[in-house]
Amino acid sequence: MGMTDLDDLSEAFQTSEALIVTADQNVKSAAEINEARLGRDRSWIAIFIISTYALAVFGVVLYLLFWGPTCIDSACTHETALWEKQSEFLLNLIFTAVVPIVTFMLGFYFGSEKSSPSQTSQSD
Range of the domain at 62: 3-122
pLDDT in tens, 26-45: 788 877 877 777 767 777 87
Residue 123 has pLDDT above 50, yes or no: no
Q: What does the pLDDT average to over 64-76?
A: 75
Residue 122 has pLDDT above 70, yes or no: no
Domain total in the chain: 1
The confidence band for 22, taking pLDDT boundaries of 50, 70 and 90, is confident
pLDDT in tens, 74-119: 777 878 888 888 888 888 888 887 778 778 877 877 776 566 555 5
What pLDDT, on a 0 to 100 scale, did the predictor assign at position 124? Answer: 45
Task: Kindly report the three-state secondary structure assignment for every residue of the chain.
Answer: CCHHHHHHHHHHHHHHHHHHHHHHHHHHHHHHHHHHHHHHHHHHHHHHHHHHHHHHHHHHHHHHHHCCCCCCCHHHHHHHHHHHHHHHHHHHHHHHHHHHHHHHHHHHHHHHHHCCHHHHHHCC
